[in-house]
Amino acid sequence: MAASVAAAVGGLRRAIRRSPSWRGPSCRPLSSEPPPTKATAVRDAFLSFFRDRHGHRLVPSASVRPRGDRSLLFVNAGMNQFKPIFLGTVDPRSEMAGFRRVANSQKCVRAGGRHNDLEDVGRDLSHHTFFEMLGNWAFGGEYFKEEACSMAWELLTQVYGIPEDRLWVSYFGGDPKTGLDPDLESRDIWLSLGVPASRVLSFGLQENFWEMGDTGPCGPCTEIHYDLAGGVGAPQLVELWNLVFMQLNREADGSLQPLPQKHVDTGMGLERLVAVLQGRRSTYDTDLFSPLLKAIHQGCRAPPYLGRVGAADEGRTDMAYRVVADHIRTLSVCIADGILPGMSGAPLVLRQILRRAVRFATEVLRAPPGFLASLVPVVVETLGNTYPELQKNSAQIANLVSEDEAAFMASLQRGRRIIDRTVQRLGPSDVFPAEVAWSLSMSGDLGFPLDLVELILEEKGVKMDPAGLARLAQEEAQRQAQQAEPVEEKGLRLDVHALGELQRQGVPPTDDSPKYNYCLQPSGGYEFGTCEAQVLQLYTEDGTAVASVGEGQRCGLLLDRTNFYAEQGGQASDRGYLVRVGQQDVLFPVARAQVCGGFILHEAVATEYLKVGDQVQLHVDKAWRLGCMEKHTATHLLNWALWQTLGPGTEQRGSHLNPERLRFDVATQAPLTSEQLRAVEITVQEAVRQDEAVYMEEVALAHTAHVPGLRSLDEVYPDPVRVVSVGVPVAHALDPASQAALQTSVELCCGTHLLRTGAVGDLVIIGERQLTKGTTRLLAVTGEQAQQAREVGQSLAQEVEAATKRLSQGSRDVVEAQRLSKDIGRLTDAVDTAVMPQWQRRELQATLKVLQRRANTAIRKLETRQVAQKTQELLQRHSEGPLIVDTVSTESLSASIGVRGGPRVWGGESANRDSWEAGDCRVTTFPLCPGAGEGGPTAV
């Protein structure tokens, strides 16, 4: 009997550890009872329960865009917005500082980063990239385990009416390796609430101990599970609610220390709860998704949704339903919160989500063009009353989805043709060439992430080449590092002999004027034209001229004309791809372009045979080019702002930019102060806010002479020369009588620029250092990166303010003071390394330096007081006798106390010591001998 019970419990433990997806036919009800409530009523019942019955304050959901949290791409849990409270860094002046018991429904996205469910969405019946987390919190010991468990049990069984015999609970069973005791308190609470001992299971660290990160607050958790089987056969348990009891802190050395204040943090997924209450086997069969699934069926030519998975889902039709329904919810929520599809970080993940949805909608469900955007109103109708930002931004959401969908449709067809053609040429055991997959993923306007290529290949039963992809990824990382801090690159170059041969043959310099052929559309986006050219010459990697190159060969292409910007003037080279004219399904990725004696050499990989004389069509990576344009215009504004702030004696000494950041070297009379750095940013922000036009024109070099305020570098310029002027037409700017160049940015520049300054968005100087005496190097970011940098700075400033308040309040004991000192040290490291405004970094560093000194002084005073108290205790305890020896244990100081009538020695040797009179005895203190730690030797 005991063995069978143990086996059953072991099976349940394995079931919980697996966190199984919903099983069985998705539309089969869990019970014969009709669905009790709609999802909106379930959500409302949760919130009103905690507000009306238990006095919780209802707080709105935070944006899914993390504010100042450097560790997250998206908000992925209800507790994210309350991290400052858990860490003790909440701004004492903020509203959050007064929170004691709160509840809410938090929008969460789990895609990319540490918690990534993107690849699982659609494959089963439960995973989502967007979901809602219902949670209640108690801060600072407002209530703890007993109240939290009782409230949860009351809500589930009395309000929602879930049968008690369908609920199981788990608790932390301890961990002997780390010395953590089992959470018997939680176990006993559940037993007292009437849960049978057979349905109360214990688990270890992985299942029932929750940690915020590598360091920080943590503690045991207890989970409530629902039995899908309902007593028929073996239990099938899914987690409903997780109650975390934060009572410990993980220190930097890995040790665990009790928190001075305890907190309760709970989370329950709304989608799963609604599935249980509506008697559904799948979260997709609830009314949170059924309107979307119905709209998808009505708008496509696909058969109705049947909830099938795996091999039963022929043609992956039901998987496509789930992908599209989930992804349009995620897209709508993210765009409403200001995360737009882009090329890095969270925007890149969102871009992948959008294009994954488009692909399933068009290729599997046979949806018409523009279909995805037509689902936005359904999402707004379903969620808009709870999250009004969806209603407010519904038109913008639909427009952005529609634009990106249209842009991806053409590239999807081309990418599919490239993959199909490549697969047809493979042998039965061949892997898909890494170069082809990489070229698709790196061509920004094609927008084919590797996971999408892999998904298409999976459908065809073809595998990618992982080793080849790893090699290409490493090469790309090296290239990015070189662009961040440019050095002399090794690569294809035309040496003096190759250039001489071209000149002997009478080959004219490359016509690169098409690089300036772009325009601003009424929608605000940029349109970049393609360029047709002829291959004049091919070069191998060692610079040898050849008539043709074969598949997989790296080569240099010399064309008669190009729309690629070759690296010069501090601007990074364009990248993109070219195709043969008339053969659009063979892609030749171009990694960079460089100027060699007036000729533009394109570095490319030949995915097929290519020869001299071929006609090709060139496509620049639009996102990459736009990023360079944004940074280059920002560089001009930065140059102007420095001139305005520091005076006419300020001179540019060099710059370099790519889509990630810009670097600017400037000659100054003295290092920039924090106030000057901040003033420079404000000047740039003003120019961006005014959204001024940017004028570009080629003029005779002589016309630029003697123009007051015109900025240029000490180098040779071509004639005619290109002039870039912000806010003022070039002709007016160059008129010496106008003085316009003294009032705005006017520079000689061959780079590509935005056509209006507003697209810069913002500029933040994130780094500053002296290169040489009189020359300062500045690093800056723009746009979304700048906004994130400001948010990180604000978040760290609030943490420093909270640390200041903690220090001013004083510490009760040495342990508390040491914890504060460590927190200040952690903050100092964070401020030193964070991407944040440099002026703010300097101010916080100065404040933290003072705080660290004060904290160390406070520790010494507390330790001294501790020693004195221990001394008095010893004197009272040993009032008589010739010699008494004892030790006082502290973390940073162990003091030995000798009270005498005899010689004061340690280990037989004289000791350096300080002495003072204490009553009628003489007390001597001295440090422990080398190597003695806390509680060290006591023998004399």
Tokens of 748: 């000689």
Smallest CA-to-CA distance from 37 within 281, 288, 225 is with 288
Q: Is the separation of the CB atoms in 355 and 449 below 8 Å? A: yes
Bridge-based pairing state of the strands 721-726 and 895-900: unpaired
Smallest CA-to-CA distance from 101 within 150, 61, 67, 143 is with 143
Tokens of 217: 């607050």
Q: In a 3-state reduction of DSSP, which class is residue 699?
A: strand
User: What's the rounded Cα separation, in Å, for the pair 358 and 410?
Assistant: 11
DSSP state of 95: G
DSSP state of 62: P
Residue 320 CB-density burial (10 A; 0-12 exposed, 13-18 middle, 19+ buried): buried
- Nearest 5 degrees, angle CA 45-CA 48-CA 53? 115
Tokens of 325: 């329904």
CA distances 47 to 44, 346, 866, Å, are 5, 30, 49
User: What's the rounded Cα separation, in Å, for the pair 911 and 888?
Assistant: 17
Helices (H), 360-393: 371-374, 376-383, 388-392
Tokens of 525: 């986006």
Bridge-based pairing state of the strands 921-927 and 914-918: antiparallel
| Distinct helix (H) and strand (E) counts, the chain | 24, 33
Smallest CA-to-CA distance from 483 within 739, 726, 657, 667 is with 657
- Going by C-beta distance under 8 Å and a sequence separation of 6 or more, which residues neighbour residue 882? 900, 901, 902
Helices (H), 60-204: 83-87, 145-154, 184-192
Segment 46-55 long-range contacts (CB within 8 Å, at least 24 positions apart): 46/103, 46/105, 46/134, 46/155, 46/268, 47/103, 47/104, 47/105, 49/151, 49/155, 49/159, 50/101, 50/103, 50/136, 50/151, 51/103, 54/101, 54/151, 55/101
User: What's the rounded Cα separation, in Å, for the pair 544 and 777?
Assistant: 39
Q: Is the separation of the CB atoms in 377 and 299 below 8 Å? A: no
User: Would you tell me the crossing angle of helices 290-299 and 376-383 to the nearest 10 degrees?
Assistant: 160
CA distances 362 to 127, 294, 371, 545, 742, Å, are 22, 17, 9, 45, 55
The residues pairing with 227 across neighbouring beta strands, listed in sequence order, are 237
Is 929 annotated as a binding-site member? no
Is 753 annotated as a binding-site member? yes
- Going by C-beta distance under 8 Å and a sequence separation of 6 or more, which residues neighbour residue 880? none
DSSP state of 567: B
Q: Is the separation of the CB atoms in 279 and 31 below 8 Å? A: yes
Q: Is the separation of the CB atoms in 99 and 298 below 8 Å? A: no
- From first CA to last CA, the distance across the chain in angstroms is 62
Phi, psi of 60 (to 5 degrees): -70, 160
DSSP state of 571: B
Phi, psi of 722 (to 5 degrees): -90, 130
Q: Is the separation of the CB atoms in 105 and 137 below 8 Å? A: no
- Bind-site residues for Zn(2+): 632, 636, 749, 753
Which segments are annotated as binding site? 632, 636, 749, 753
